[in-house]
Amino acid sequence: MNIYDHFYAGGRFIPVAGGRRHTVVNPASETACAEVALCGQGELDTAVKSARRGFETWRRSSLDERRAALRRLKAALESRADEIAALLAIEMGCPVWLGGLMQIPMPLKGIDFAIEGLSQITWEERVGNGLVERVPSGVVAAITPWNFPVHQIAAKVAAAVAAGCSIVIKPSEVAPGAAWAFAQAVHEAGLAAGVVNLVWGDAGLGEALVTHAGVDRISFTGSTAVGQRIMASAAARLTPVTLELGGKSAAVLLEDADLAAAIPAAVRMGLANSGQACVSQSLLLVPRPLRDEAIARFQQAAAGWVPGDPLDPATRLGPVATAAQHAHVNRMIARAQEQGAVCAMGGPAGLSRGYFVAPTLFSNVSPDMEIARREVFGPVVALMTYEDEHEAADLANASGYGLSGAVWSGDPAWAVSFARRLRTGQVVINGAAQNLATPFGGWGLSGFGRENGRFGIEDMLSFRSLHGAA
């Protein structure tokens, strides 16, 4: 059993003094697998003070020093790839297959794009008699969830380090191993003391961090409900916030879509990580005449996603991460049935142990049903039919979220023109790879602000205008 009982501040691992502990439960076996010692106000103050000192040093660093620090961090993280994949399997049920395919490569690529971004930013420019500078905004409070824990931490840390900021991370204690390995990588990379700090805590500590007088900027990734709360708390000190929140993303098949390509991709985007991805495509919109073929192809493509041991390299679908998440997903499945949706496949996994949910597809879904509007965060896809393109766009835009989406068409120009009707931060056209150098973030209930590459760095900068500077 792993015990995470040190926090990281001032370039040192320091024992957590208080006795409050959180037990991490392996979601496949329902047995305790780790313990996290929760920090108190004193430890938080130490971490923020360390970040303030770190900022004073790091804000003066050269772009070359930042590039070199990020390269060392990437190397140290990469050397821990197998260890992290195993920890993710044990602590949050992510299959090692997906750990190797996405959970580690994404943050490594993200660090590369932050390094490239450093050369793409206009750090100063002349405007008349003014010299306009982009300056680091200070100490960043970073609060992250458990579903892609390395990527979410790395996105914020890489942007902060590149911007010349310092950062205090409060990761989710649901998957602490990834955050712990990340802190070890920071230490091994020899980043200047105080630039990156990490505290363990629950919602109360998160609240104390975002309202701390030593914090200049907040970067939050998590649920919409907590994001709303954080924004309200931040208002007291007018601390700027970036909010990367939930989603209800739709994969839209236009009439001429290639179903043989589109449906397996929709299955992957609906089921990977047990549907616990903010960009999960949990809505599938198909023209009415294609409904039966789409359902049959979905059933066929999803049949291989058999729930199983996340440590087995052959497993595609692990459990959902926690007992609470399991109860929430099962409640949403039950309510969808009560409201008249037809379960075309799946439902509760029926295993005697573990928080497993079988790949689930609902048909006969209407726009007023909960399953059509609310984020599930489980391996559950709702299929809706539409009569024409206008209705398809209305259905895709109806939830109030605006994070992501996908469109499939044999006509690339039609696909792009339809993509422009979606009120989301990103749209994947005909299964293209997600480009981590482009801005990532949402509209509406999915939040605001952007991460990745130069855009993530710019999010952590402020402007300063020097009038009359020679």
Q: Which is nearer to ligand NAP, 442 or 456 (CB)?
A: 442
- Amino acid, res. 330: N
- HEC string for 280-324: CCCEEEEEHHHHHHHHHHHHHHHCCCCECCCCCCCCCECCCCCHH
Q: Is 230 in the site for ligand NAP (CB under 6 A)?
A: yes
One residue of 43, 91, 216, 244 binding ligand NAP per CB under 6 A: 244
Q: Is 207 in the site for ligand NAP (CB under 6 A)?
A: yes
Query: In 22-49, which positions are buried (b, 16+ CB within 10 angstroms) versus exposed (e)?
Result: bebbbbbeeeebbbbbbbbeebbbbbbb
Task: Specify the stretch interacting with ligand NAP by CB under 6 A; choose among 78-86, 102-110, 169-177, 304-312.
Answer: 169-177
| CA distances (Å), origin 10, targets 65, 186, 317 | 19, 12, 40
Task: Specify the stretch interacting with ligand NAP by CB under 6 A; choose among 65-73, 145-153, 392-400, 429-437.
Answer: 145-153
At 308, give phi and psi (nearest 5°): -165, -175
Q: Residue 198 in contact with residue 7, Cβ under 8 Å?
A: yes
Q: Is 21 in the site for ligand NAP (CB under 6 A)?
A: no
Chain positions 364 to 423 lying near ligand NAP, rule: CB under 6 A, are: 375, 377, 403
> Is 39 considered catalytic here?
no
The residue from 39, 94, 165, 278 that is catalytic is 278
Task: Specify the stretch interacting with ligand NAP by CB under 6 A; choose among 242-250, 284-292, 308-316, 332-340.
Answer: 242-250
Query: In 144-173, which positions are buried (b, 16+ CB within 10 angstroms) versus exposed (e)?
Result: bbbbbbbbbbbbbbbbbbbbbbbbbbbbbb
Chain positions 259 to 278 lying near ligand NAP, rule: CB under 6 A, are: 278
- Could you tell me the strand order of the sheet in which 250-253 lies? 342-348, 357-363, 380-386, 283-287, 250-253, 405-408, 428-429
Q: Which is nearer to ligand NAP, 149 or 310 (CB)?
A: 149
Q: Is 177 in the site for ligand NAP (CB under 6 A)?
A: no
- Give min distance, CB of 459 to ligand NAP, in A: 13
Q: Is 181 in the site for ligand NAP (CB under 6 A)?
A: no
The residue from 43, 244, 375, 458 that is catalytic is 244
Binding site for ligand NAP (CB under 6 A): 143-148, 170, 172-174, 202-203, 206-207, 210, 221-223, 226, 229-230, 244-247, 278, 375, 377, 403, 442
